[in-house]
Amino acid sequence: MKALRVVLALSFLLLGGCLVVFREPLPANEPPPLALLGEWSRSNEWGEQMFLDISRSGENSFRARLMAGSPENLEGAEEYDFTVNHSGHRWYLSTRLPRRFGESFAVGGFEITSSNELLVYSLDNQLFIDEIRAGRLQGEVIDTVEGESALVTAPAADVLAFLNDPANADVFVEAARYQRSGQ
């Protein structure tokens, strides 16, 4: 349950209680914008102060450390490694999900605004379910405790083509808005 709360707190993995999951991550194709690295903060839906610290964890991987209440709350910190992909006009991130979600990955989007905000986007589960059922995207609809969830089995190149198509812009939903800490 703790991991699910963290996934919710990271805000780019859950939407409406159900998760869009992918069989493979998007390929890491370049480093993220340097402005992504560092400390971010926001108040979550319950008014709790959240702190997000993003750092490099390898040549093409990064680590997001999420702390609630205080940036010094390392005991309660949760960490997730992720990779980034820049395709078309969008930045994407991919992270491996906890084992209980299977051998799957979550994908989200992000941007850094001119006012130095980090916007994180999740994917609309219902729209992915509709696309899979209509046969426009390879995958399957699976039943979970929280309801139906989309499992996308399409190759990464097909997923990127789908996500970059302007006709599919509505699959992105703003999930969190962070401010640079100290500003």
Residue at 107 is within a domain: yes
Residue at 70 is within a domain: no
Residue at 57 is within a domain: no
**Predicted confidence band of residue 70 (pLDDT cuts 50, 70, 90):** low
Please report the pLDDT score of residue 59 as a whole number: 79
Longest dimension (CA), the chain: 48
As a whole number of angstroms, the distance between CA 16 and CA 19 comes to 8
Per DSSP, what are the bridge partners of residue 79?
Answer: 65
| Number of compact structural domains in the chain | 1
Beta-sheet strands, E only, within the chain: 21-22, 38-43, 49-56, 62-68, 78-87, 90-96, 105-112, 117-123, 139-144, 147-152, 172-180
Average pLDDT over residues 162-180: 93
As a whole number of angstroms, the distance between CA 100 and CA 159 comes to 23
Evaluate if residue 152 carries a pLDDT over 70: yes
99: containing domain: 2-36+82-180
Residue at 159 is within a domain: yes
In this predicted model, what pLDDT tens digit does every residue of 111-147 receive, in sequence order?
999 998 999 999 999 999 999 999 999 999 988 877 8
Residue 155 structure tokens: 């190759």
Residue at 116 is within a domain: yes
Residue at 75 is within a domain: no
Residue at 64 is within a domain: no
Residue at 67 is within a domain: no
Mean pLDDT of the chain: 84
Average pLDDT over residues 98-117: 87
Average pLDDT over residues 40-63: 88
